[in-house]
Chains A and B, each alone.
Chain A
Amino acid sequence: DAKTTQPPSMDCAEGRAANLPCNHSTISGNEYVYWYRQIHSQGPQYIIHGLKNNETNEMASLIITEDRKSSTLILPHATLRDTAVYYCIVPFSGSARQLTFGSGTQLTVLP
């Protein structure tokens, strides 16, 4: 997998937007960026993924820079239930069988 770098922790006030950054400077042209989150003692939950264009779904938005070397996951109105570890992953192109989770970012939403 292309190596990703995320801050170990972030805080966000409830109701505000949470912006989680990820660096993936070694990403190849056809590799996707995936975001998952894991709430303590639960399985990881898929959030969103993208290749080049910005993406939005009911959970979040994904902003990918033009050079694709970094991305930002945006939770537009964070709630206490969004407190979790967020993982940015770039699987090997040609092998989605491999999905290596690193340390991620612990997001804490504060009341």
Chain B
Amino acid sequence: SQTIHQWPATLVQPVGSPLSLECTVEGTSNPNLYWYRQAAGRGLQLLFYSVGIGQISSEVPQNLSASRPQDRQFILSSKKLLLSDSGFYLCAWSKGGFSGNTIYFGEGSWLTVV
């Protein structure tokens, strides 16, 4: 069966510091990968998605970036965090190819920028 893991689960970072959230998927190959953010009391916002190694699409302009160095690894980064970057970050995956495939989410990472 397929599993998805992301870490760290919680993170408290000062303004201006860098960020790295990692996500890995097991049990499948060539998945579509996603990063979402959920601000308190609001719905999910798609940040980035990837259909293959090195292929990243950005949905929202901001000071975050994403990379996919391996087929089942997705990384969310920032060089300098802002207070507004605080939130709940979710990595997700779906089977590659057919556009209607179900998206499965990881456990989430709570980021607090202070």
Q: Is B22 an interface residue (CB 8 A)?
A: no
Contacts of A49 in B (CB 8 A): 102
Segment of B11-19, B41-49, B63-71, B76-84 engaged in the interface with chain A: B41-49
How many CB-defined contacts (below 8 Å) exist between A and B?
56
Q: Is A98 an interface residue (CB 8 A)?
A: yes
Interface size on A, residues (CB 8 A): 23
Contacts of B105 in A (CB 8 A): 43-46
Q: Is B86 an interface residue (CB 8 A)?
A: no
In contact, A100 and B44 (Cβ under 8 angstroms): yes
Minimum C-beta distance from B9 to chain A (A): 10
Closest partner residue, chain A, to B6 (CB atom): A43
Report the separation of the CA atoms of residues A101 and B90 in the bound assembly, to the nearest whole angstrom.
13
Contacts of A93 in B (CB 8 A): 99-100
Given A93-B99, A96-B99, A96-B101, is A42 in contact with B107 using a C-beta cutoff of 8 Å?
A: yes
Closest partner residue, chain B, to A48 (CB atom): B102
Minimum C-beta distance from A63 to chain B (A): 19
Closest partner residue, chain B, to A31 (CB atom): B100
Contacts of A25 in B (CB 8 A): none
In contact, A99 and B43 (Cβ under 8 angstroms): no
Contacts of A91 in B (CB 8 A): 100
Contacts of A97 in B (CB 8 A): 32, 34, 46, 49, 51, 57, 99
Given A43-B107, A44-B90, is A100 in contact with B100 using a C-beta cutoff of 8 Å?
A: no
Contacts of B92 in A (CB 8 A): 43
Further contacts, 4 of them, CB under 8 A, given A42-B107, A96-B99: A42-B108, A91-B100, A100-B46, A101-B38
Residues on B close to A: CB < 8 A? 32, 34, 38, 43-44, 46, 49, 51, 57, 88, 90, 92, 94, 98-108, 110
Residues on A close to B: CB < 8 A? 32, 34, 41-46, 49, 87, 91, 93-104
